[in-house]
Structures are given as structure tokens and as C-alpha cells.
Amino acid sequence: MSNVFEELVTLTNVSIQDGEDTQTYLHRMVKAINDLTEEDWNKIPGEGQAWFNDSAKMISDAPEGILPEIPVIPGMGGADKPKKEKKVKEPKEPKVKAEKKPKREGPPVTSIVRDLVCQNMDLDFAAIKAALEAQNVAIADSSAQVVYLNTQKTFEAIKRVGSVKDKDGKVVISYNS
């Protein structure tokens, strides 16, 4: 079977761009994995899920505006630039189409996580996960945790700074302690 790096490239369709440095690529890969469906997340080998979870935690723990250096994906190698592999097209067997699950109606799952935090920013992650389950909303724990932590950090920044302004300098969100 192929290595973890190849599996992630296949699942996300994210490959290195010409002139792109490794860290920029790795951060794009984290975002792409975060956007995967639960079904695709479950296709990622355990080592790839562990790499994503560790990398996502490093990103969420980093100071605001700082992109931390995250480790390379297992099987990617340590070069400055991952090598592009030329894909050899092999004849494919016709695929049997699986029945599509009905799409969930309503806002994106990540918005639901943000809304829950907005309704009560003191909820811990376990309470957020329980609220999602009560609403029959499926999301990978790692994805929900990244959204939860980023939302918490945004609130902390608003509290620290006191307001959020639009491009014209108009205050659109204010916080008075």
C-alpha cells in the first residue's frame, strides 16, 4: 500500500505548487484535511490522522498571526520541496456508484460549532461535542476541536483589544469588560 503522504495527496487532491515552500504546502494540507468529510477522514491511516491532529494543535496553540513550523508528513521526506510524482494513468475498472447520502440541510457544520461557542463561550469542548451529537451533526473530533479553539482564540483577542473594526474603521463588534 502507498505511504501516508501519498494517501493524503490522493484524498485531498492537494499537491505542491511550483515554487511553494514546504511549510506553506503543509499548512495548505492541514486546511484541506480539516475540510474533509467524516467518511474521507476515516480513510486516512492512523499515522496521518496523528500527524494532522498534532499539526492542527500546533497551529491552534501558536500566537495569533504566527504560522508555526509543522513536521513533514510521514512518507513525504525532509526535502525543502516535496517531489511531484508523475501519475501513470492505468486503465480503471468501471466504478459502481454508491448510493449518495442525503445532504444535511442547514448551515455548515463549522458554523454550528462557532454558533455554540457564541451562545456560551464558557462551554468546554466536551459540551460542544455533546451539543453536536444531540443535534445529529457529524464532524471529526479534530476538525471540531480546531474550529472550537480558533473561535475561543478569536474571542480572547476581541476581549483583549476591545473591538473589531471593518475596513472603513467602523466598529462592528465591541467588548466592554
Which residues are 173's β-sheet partners?
Answer: 164
Domain boundaries, the chain: 1-78, 103-177
Gap between the Cα atoms of 15 and 35, Å rounded: 16
In tens digits, the chain (177 residues) has pLDDT values of 468 888 889 889 998 888 888 988 998 999 999 888 888 888 888 898 999 999 988 988 888 778 889 999 988 875 444 444 445 566 666 667 666 666 656 777 888 888 888 888 888 888 888 888 888 888 887 777 888 888 888 888 888 888 888 999 998 888 887
Q: Which of 72, 92, 93, 68 is nearest to 83 (CA)?
A: 72
Q: Which residues contact 164 (CB under 8 A, 6 or more apart)?
A: 158, 171, 172, 173, 174
C-beta of residue 59 within 8 angstroms of C-beta of residue 27: yes
Gap between the Cα atoms of 14 and 32, Å rounded: 7
Q: Grid coordinates representing 145? A: 476541536
> In the chain, what is the greatest distance between 2 CA atoms, to the nearest angstrom?
64
